Chains A and B, each alone.
Chain A
């Protein structure tokens, strides 16, 4: 049975994770992700799980590595600065094909590159999902644990200060995705079988040194993930002369500005990538084919715009209409997060 509640996005996402079977969480407090740690420290013991208030982000991701390596659904959250400290582990978790869910409650949207390119070493990728509301955070938390197990690959959920701290009505779905019953890759103790090694450095089989095959297996799935797991919300694309692209919670502001532009008779369409990796390149490319320009609204110095340009391939001009935006707190909520401002920028680009 589904259930409704008024909750902050961070708590709603944490609750959804617990309902998805998450039984281990480790974190280090940092704004605006701290509420997930607080929620988990109360909630996980109630369901027989464990929450660790780790002594550093580096130890927190180590703990999650250990729990996830045992086959227990595990989550970690931080903001960009703390996520930076975890990058070495992120890279190797992907190479070892250990499924975890990592949440970045970003300050503004400055961590798009960090999330989609990764700050670690090697050929790895994280699947990155960007919810625009508490409800979508609930839904994507369920999906994230499913995709992590399905692909044996870490999944990141990228939110921000507003998503974390805005209370909204959410509905928890009744068990959306069942957890796999068998995880033969996990270390459990070699009961009734030869021991295995779960490692980013080589294959699980003992006495084997085929490192290239192990790393190949960890990356060969990227193409299949691109094909299967691209997600986007679109609106008004049929006759759009200008396509506005925006993601996450600020994407809701952009969507509303597009609606107001429509009411003023401007043929403006909207694309909101939900999966940042894989990026919905085809959706953007198709929309741009019929348009005369594309505008990207993001709260950073221009990061997703590079993925948009890769999709558009120079067919039409791509304009940046966002920017760095903070108030005195530095948590990424500033004057640009304003529908009137976004509408003004849309009108200016439309008229050009």
Chain B
């Protein structure tokens, strides 16, 4: 027993490994990946996270970095103020699809167009998780939510927004990628994209955004173990993974 090899440990930037989110949620996986990278890149002492409002608002209290809590939708303007007065800080925002794409779309578009030198991270699970399963601007056509009971319908509810592609069009964005955390290889790619986005910021090149598709089995109304398959089947075809701009 004494010579068991340690093959995995979590970063000490995570103050507690228990989280209060649902079983099968993808957001804690994304958070751990972000914090591991911050630790490895030696950025902890320079990091200021600007957090939005969603299920992940439970994270700041277990993250051993400075966090500025913003209003729903407003993290990009708050991060702009932070980065402008503290250009040496490493600044990233943490928003969901409801926060960034529904409530605060204008904010992220303008921040990207201005080329603000922070990294925007959006956890996209295509649903309002915290409110209990309602349609967001990224809910895919046919997806059942409590406000699209029969499935999102183009005529009645409009079309989903591909935020990463939208941001990539703007001259101020320097790095844009979309990852997913539903498979081990997906997590590895997410880690690579986050790393490259962070480097873009550290090199002063402009606005960077990583969209991370995350599982929400609770509000997709499937058992926790079916979250990854649901994501692969329903989200990936609409939100293709990969580097969109670099």
Contacts and interface: CB of A to CB of B under 8 A. Distances in A.
Interface of A: 23-24, 26, 50, 52, 54-56, 58-70, 72, 74, 88-89, 92, 96, 187-192, 194-202, 206-209
Nearest to A59: B77
A6 to B, nearest CB: 32
B80 A62 contact: yes
B34 to A, nearest CB: 14
A257 B149 CA distance: 67
A187 B48 contact: yes
Contact of B85 (A56, A72, A88): A72
Contact of B84 (A52, A198, A201, A207): A52
Contact of A96 (B69, B85, B89): B69
Given A89-B71, A89-B74, A190 B50 contact: no
Interface in B79-129: 79-86, 89-90, 106-107, 110
A110 B81 CA distance: 30
Contacts of B81: 24, 26, 52, 62-70, 74
Contact of B82 (A55, A70, A208): A70
B63 A195 contact: yes
B180 interface: no
A206 B65 CA distance: 9
B67 interface: yes
Given A66-B78, A189-B46, A197 B84 contact: no
Interface residues of B, number: 38
A67 B84 contact: yes
B16 interface: yes
Interface of B: 15-16, 44-48, 50, 57, 60-71, 74, 76-86, 89-90, 106-107, 110
Contact of A70 (B44, B48, B57, B67): B48
A54 B81 CA distance: 11
A168 B71 CA distance: 40
Given A189-B66, A195-B66, A70 B71 contact: no
A70 B47 CA distance: 12
Contacts of A207: 15-16, 61-62
A88 to B, nearest CB: 6
Query: Closest 4 CB pairs between A and B?
Result: A66-B81, A62-B77, A199-B69, A67-B81
Contacts of B110: 55, 59
Give the one of A55, A72, A197 with max B CB within 10 A. Answer: A197
Contacts of B83: 66
21 contacts: A62-B80, A62-B107, A63-B77, A64-B81, A65-B74, A65-B81, A66-B50, A66-B83, A67-B85, A70-B48, A70-B82, A89-B71, A188-B48, A188-B89, A189-B89, A191-B46, A192-B45, A195-B63, A206-B60, A207-B16, A207-B61
A52 B61 contact: no
A183 to B, nearest CB: 13
Contact of A23 (B61, B85, B106, B107): B85
Contacts of A66: 50, 68, 70, 77-85
B68 A55 contact: no
B112 to A, nearest CB: 12
Given A58-B77, A59-B107, A65 B84 contact: no
